[in-house]
Structure 1
Amino acid sequence: MGLPERDTAVGHSFGLEFDGITIKAITEVTGLKIEQDVIDLKQNTNDGKYEIKRLPGRPKAGEVTLTRGLTADQSFSKWVKDSQFGKMQDARKGGSIIIYDFEGAEIKRYKLVNAWPKSLEIGSLKAGDTSLLTEKLAITYERIEVG
C-alpha cells in the first residue's frame, strides 16, 4: 500500500537488500543522495551581453553509511573481507535501500549500482557501559537509481 496523496513518509522503518538478502535491522542511513556535476557555459548572447548558463554534467558516484546494532550476523564483515582481499567480483554488488510504511509495505527503493564496502566501524567499547553496540558500514557506489 502506497502513501495516501499529500501524505509524507516517516523514516522509521527501512532495510537493505543485496543479492536477495534483506536486512531490516538497520537503525540509521546517512549520506543517501543523488548528485551530478554542474557545467558553467560562458557565452555572449546575440546582443553581445555576457552570460553564464549552468548545464547538468555527469552524475557523481556516492557513499552511504548504514548503522545497525551489533549482532552475530556476519554479512557486513564478510562483505568487507571480500573487498579487502581484492575479490571485487564478489564484493561489487547491486542492491537497494528500501523505505517501508507502518504496515511493512515498500514505499520507495533506492538502488545502488556497483556498490562495495569502504569501511566497517564498530561503536565505542567502554567497560561497564550499557549502551547499544553498533556497526557502521560505509558503502561506496557508482550510481544510484530511484525506483
Structure 2
Amino acid sequence: MATTFAVNTHRFDPYKNFKFRVKWDGHYIAGVSKVSSLKRTTEVVEHREGGDPSTSRKSPGRSKYEAITLERGVTHDPDFEKWANKVWNFDSGLGAEVSLKDFRKDLIIEVYNEAGQIAMAYKVYRAWVSEFQAIPDLDANANAIAIQSIKLENEGWERDYDVVEPAEPTFTEPA
C-alpha cells in the first residue's frame, strides 16, 4: 500500500525544534520544555551460507525503541507525578505499590511550524514512567528554573501520516 504525502512546495526551511506540544489522555500537558529524541535501533543478524566461507550476509533482527525523557518547569500541575505514582506509590501499602490497570499511556508529540500550525505528529505507544525526578538539585546561589522530568519506556512510535504539511499562511499588513 503506497502512502502519499501532501507537499508544500513553497517551504524551503526545515522545522525548528522549539515549537512542539505533548498530549496524553486527550489533553495537552502544561509546560513541557524539552522532549528527548525518538530513536529506534534494529539489531543486525549476521548469517553465512555453508558453501560461502568468505562472506557474511546481514538481515534485520529485533527493533527496540529508546526511552523518551520529558522535562518541564516545576509547578503545581500534578500530571507527571500522578503518572509516575501509577508505577510505584509509596502510600499504597505492601503488595499494592503498582497499578497495572492504567499505568501505560499512548501519547502524541506534535511539531509546529513558525506560524503555529501543526506540521507533523508522532504517536508513542504503551509508554510508562520508569524514572521520575520531582525536583532538581536545589542551589541558593543559582539563577535557574527548577526542572522536573519523567523517563518514558515505550513499545514503539510512528509518524501520524494523517497530519499533512500545512499551506504557509500569508500575513497582510494592516491598512
TM-score normalised per structure 2 = 0.73
Residue in 2 aligned with 1:16?
22
Measured against aligned partners, the alpha-carbon deviations of 1:74-123 in whole angstroms (never above 9, x if no partner) come to 00000000111311221111112221112222222221111001111122
Identity of aligned residues (%): 26
SS of 1:103's partner is: coil
User: Any stretches of 5+ residues in structure 1 without a counterpart?
Assistant: none
Question: Residues 44 and 51 of structure 1 are in contact (CA less than 8 Å); yes or no, is this contact kept in structure 2?
Answer: no
User: Any stretches of 5+ residues in structure 2 without a counterpart?
Assistant: 1-7, 89-96, 161-175
Measured against aligned partners, the alpha-carbon deviations of 1:38-62 in whole angstroms (never above 9, x if no partner) come to 11122256xx452112211122132
Q: Which runs of 4+ in 1 moved over 3 A?
A: 2-6
1:25 CA drift (Å): 2.2
User: Partners in 2 of 1:59 and 1:89 — Cα distance?
Assistant: 26
User: Partners in 2 of 1:53 and 1:7 — Cα distance?
Assistant: 39
Query: Please, what is the CA RMSD of the aligned residues?
Result: 2.2
SS of 1:79's partner is: helix
Given candidates 64, 67, 75, the residue that maps to 1:71 is 75
1:31 CA drift (Å): 3.9
User: Partners in 2 of 1:66 and 1:3 — Cα distance?
Assistant: 33
User: Partners in 2 of 1:109 and 1:141 — Cα distance?
Assistant: 16
Residue in 1 aligned with 2:91?
none
Residue in 2 aligned with 1:96?
108
Residue in 2 aligned with 1:34?
40
Residue in 2 aligned with 1:136?
149
Paired residue type of 1:93: K
Residue in 2 aligned with 1:54?
58
Tell me which structure has the larger Cα radius of gyration.
Answer: 2
TM-score normalised per structure 1 = 0.86
Which structure features the higher share of strand residues?
1
SS of 2:83's partner is: helix
Paired residue type of 1:28: K
SS of 1:132's partner is: coil
Q: Residues 66, 3 of structure 1: CA spacing in aligned structure 2 closer, same or farther, 3 A cutoff?
A: farther
1:134 CA drift (Å): 0.4
1:7 CA drift (Å): 2.8
